[in-house]
């Protein structure tokens, strides 16, 4: 998952890892059993742009390499755009729109209701 090859990493406590390292450790744990479906919920929350892109790149590589499916739960649509080919937009638990990523992102049907 792109973690440093430094053996000292294994002796570190979670609070001694960066946010990106913590996310990659979590991804390594969930992928260790060779699942056919990965479900990730907000895997990039709290990460800076560089760490976010690195984690998402690794998720994409993992899914492609294993031929797995990915259910990516996020409020960050640009992040979803980096790993998804289909998008489902929910509001209050109701599906507002669904379709290929490019179509939903280009012409979003769901609008925020006026206050």
The total number of structural domains in the chain stands at 1
Q: What are 8's two structure tokens?
A: 């000292």
The verdict on residue 111 lying in a domain is: no
**pLDDT tens digits for the chain (115 residues)?**
677 778 888 888 989 988 778 887 887 887 787 889 988 888 888 788 888 888 888 888 888 888 999 999 998 888 888 889 999 988 899 999 999 998 888 877 765 554 4
Domain range holding 47? 16-106
DSSP string, 40-68: EESTTTT--HHHHHHHHHHHHHHHHHHT-
For the domain that residue 42 is a member of, what is the CATH number? Answer: 3.40.50.300
The verdict on residue 89 lying in a domain is: yes
- What confidence score (pLDDT) does residue 87 get? 92
């Amino acid at each position: 998952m792109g973690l440093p090859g430094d053996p000292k990493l294994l002796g570190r406590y979670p609070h001694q890892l960066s946010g990106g390292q913590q996310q990659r450790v979590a991804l390594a744990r969930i992928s260790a059993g060779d699942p056919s479906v990965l479900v990730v919920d907000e895997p990039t929350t709290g990460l800076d742009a560089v760490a976010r892109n690195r984690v998402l790149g690794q998720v994409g590589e993992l899914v492609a390499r294993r031929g797995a499916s990915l259910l990516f739960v996020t409020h960050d649509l640009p992040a979803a755009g980096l790993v998804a080919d289909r998008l489902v937009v929910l509001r209050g638990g109701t599906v507002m729109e669904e379709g290929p990523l490019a179509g939903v992102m280009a012409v979003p049907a769901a609008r925020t209701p006026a206050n």
